Structure 1
Amino acid sequence: MSRKTTYTSSSQQRLLKVLMALFADVVTGVPGTVLAQAAGCSPSAITRDLDNLRTAGLAERDEETGLWRLTPRLPQQAVKVFNAVERAGARYEQARNRYTRNPD
């Protein structure tokens, strides 16, 4: 059952949409107009959001192309998640092998 709260902030939700849209191209970058469309906001709102992400060290603007991309900070966290899942999988396999092998 979903419970409605009053904690949801439209500006924070928009910022999260921008972050997710930035994952679309972490190498070349994404135009601000595309990010504004993804977040459903105006160009001035996307400018404020991107400035906040830059201040937080999560996004950067390529001065040559004008495109925005994630800094390595968030993708590095994703790598940590994958590594943790791999370690958990290895522990699971060890336990499975321990309990399923034939006794001597």
Structure 2
Amino acid sequence: MTNKHDERHMHDNGSQRRILDAILLLAGQEMHGLAPKDLAAGLKVSPASITRDLHNLKAVGFVEQIGETGRYRLGPALVRISVAHATALMRAAQRLEEIRNRYSSEP
């Protein structure tokens, strides 16, 4: 029988993980972004790997390049996912509050 740790290891993919780690590294860098060399250093990978990752992230709108500096920051597509998630949670909380109010109200 395989335990959870073994199963996770079987499905681990270095390049996919590196892209996700790049997103986490870019979080909080919205104003100034990060240079590709800083991403490469932070992730301990080659500049070629970061160039490839940034190309793919940019292609789907998850990162954008700041024209004036050439640095990268999280892009609109990824931020929209966060906003949609927060909106869904807010709607769920409102619905729950409506239900709570309906059951706690006296006729």
TM-score, normalised by the number of residues in structure 2: 0.83
Structure 1 residue 39 displacement after superposition: 2.2
Percent of residue pairs identical: 35
The counterpart of 2:74, out of the listed 55, 70, 74, is 70
Residue-by-residue CA offset, 1:40-95 (whole Å, 9 max, x unaligned): 21222111111121222322222321211122111011110111001000011111
**Letter matched to residue 30 of structure 1:** L
Q: Are the aligned partners of 1:15 and 1:39 in contact in 2 as well (CA < 8 Å)?
A: no
Distance across 2 between alignment mates of 1:29 and 1:78:
18
Structure 2 residue matching 1:41: 3-state secondary structure = coil
Deviation larger for 4-13 or 20-29? 20-29
Structure 2 residue matching 1:27: 3-state secondary structure = coil
Counterpart for residue 4 of structure 1: 6
Q: Are the aligned partners of 1:53 and 1:59 in contact in 2 as well (CA < 8 Å)?
A: yes
Counterpart for residue 88 of structure 1: 92
In the TM superposition, what are the counterparts of 1:13-92 in structure 2 within 5 Å?
A: 13-92=17-96
Distance across 1 between alignment mates of 2:58 and 2:94:
37
* Count of aligned residue pairs for this structure pair: 103
Q: Which has the higher helix share?
A: 2
Provide the alpha-carbon RMSD of the alignment.
1.7
Residue-by-residue CA offset, 1:7-33 (whole Å, 9 max, x unaligned): 210111001001111222123311223
Distance across 2 between alignment mates of 1:90 and 1:72:
26
